[in-house]
A and B are shown apart, each in its own frame.
Chain A
Amino acid sequence: GAGVSQSPRYKVTKRGQDVALRCDPISGHVSLYWYRQALGQGPEFLTYFNYEAQQDKSGLPNDRFSAERPEGSISTLTIQRTEQRDSAMYRCASSLYGEDDTEAFFGQGTRLTVV
């Protein structure tokens, strides 16, 4: 597609439910990143992939969070047994290569609210 696409744009879920957030990167982009952004703060790194391989998951806050990118394109971030503290904007980005000076293109994000 023309840009990074995330779905859903908004998700309201009850505490204890599982949620799956989807990211469709720019076609041909090797690297895909997930960030979480609390209100009034900058995004915080969660995890990233090169192709289908998860390169770094050091930012995932606990084992309720997981991510996959099975075919090296679309990625899913899953949060199990959601808690209110998981409420945030979840942002996905992709870049052509995983070098530190290449531009990352961000999607519009998924606003998750846990009630």
Chain B
Amino acid sequence: GNSVTQMEGPVTLSEEAFLTINCTYTATGYPSLFWYVQYPGEGLQLLLKATKADDKGSNKGFEATYRKETTSFHLEKGSVQVSDSAVYFCALSAQGAQKLVFGQGTRLTINP
């Protein structure tokens, strides 16, 4: 079956540090890949997505590239801010529906 494995947290960084959160997936066919973010007290929000191999999703300074050869979709940001503190979820969908399969989430804390 389809599954997503992401880097375990929590992750704590200083402001302006470089961020990488690893995500790998197992899926039949060609899934779409997503990163969702959950800020404190809020619901899940789509951060970025990629729908085919070698696509790069980007938003708010975050980037992730769909790597079919390594079945990965790692999230990166060059310079994190305190406001980026949140829980980040990698997810995939396949079979023509938004039946998302999520990783376990990575809690990120950025200290000033």
Of the four ranges (under 10, 10 to 19, 20 to 34, 35 or more), the interface on chain B belongs to: 20 to 34
Which of A65-73, A80-88, A98-106 forms contacts with chain B? A98-106
Q: How far is the CB of B103 from chain A (nearest CB, A)?
A: 5
Contacts of A1 in B (CB 8 A): none
Q: Mark A30-67, 1 if CB is under 8 A from B, else 0.
A: 01010100001111110010000001100000000000
In the complex, what residues of A have CB within 8 A of residue B21's CB? none
Interface SS majority for chain A: loop
Chain B residues within an 8 Å CB radius of A48: 97-99
Docked complex Cα distance between A48 and B97 (Å): 9
Please name all residues of chain B whose beta carbon is closer than 8 Å to the beta carbon of A45 when the two chains form the complex.
99-101
CB distance from B104 to the nearest CB of A (A): 5
Q: Is A25 an interface residue (CB 8 A)?
A: no
The residue on A at minimum CB distance from B36 is A106
Q: Which residues from A are CB-within-8-Å of B105?
A: 40-42
Q: Using Cβ atoms and an 8 Å threshold, which residues of chain A touch B4? A: 42
Q: How far is the CB of B57 from chain A (nearest CB, A)?
A: 11
Residue of A nearest to B46 (CB): A103
Report whether B99 and A91 are in contact in the complex, using a CB–CB cutoff of 8 Å.
no
Contact with B along A95-115 (1 / 0, CB 8 A): 100111111111111000000
| Bound complex: CA A56 to CA B49 (Å) | 24
Q: List 14 A-B contacts (CB under 8 A).
A: A3-B43, A41-B104, A42-B4, A42-B103, A43-B89, A43-B100, A45-B99, A98-B97, A99-B96, A99-B98, A100-B32, A100-B93, A100-B99, A101-B32
Other A-B contacts than A102-B98, A104-B100, 14 sampled, CB-CB below 8 A, are: A3-B43, A33-B99, A40-B105, A42-B4, A42-B89, A99-B96, A99-B97, A100-B32, A100-B93, A100-B96, A101-B49, A101-B51, A104-B98, A109-B43
